[in-house]
Amino acid sequence: MLYPQQNLKELLQKLSTQTDSQYTIVCFCAAWCRTCNGFEAQIESLELKYPQHNFVWVDVEEHENLLIDEDIEDFPTILIQNKKGTLFYGPLLPFAEHIDRLLQQAEKKPQFGAPVASFEQLVIAAAQ
CA–CA dist 106, 58 (Å, integer): 23
Please count the CA atoms within 13 angstroms of the CA of 33 that sit on its side-chain side: 18
pLDDT at site 88 = 92
- Domain ranges in the chain are 4-127
User: 128 pLDDT exceeds 70?
Assistant: yes
CATH of 4-127, one of 3.40.30.10, 3.10.20.520, 3.40.50.1820, 3.20.10.10: 3.40.30.10
CA–CA dist 11, 6 (Å, integer): 10
pTM exceeding 0.85: yes
Sign of the dihedral through C-alpha 88, 63, 55, 21: positive
Report CA dihedral (13, 46, 118, 92) to the nearest 10 degrees.
-160
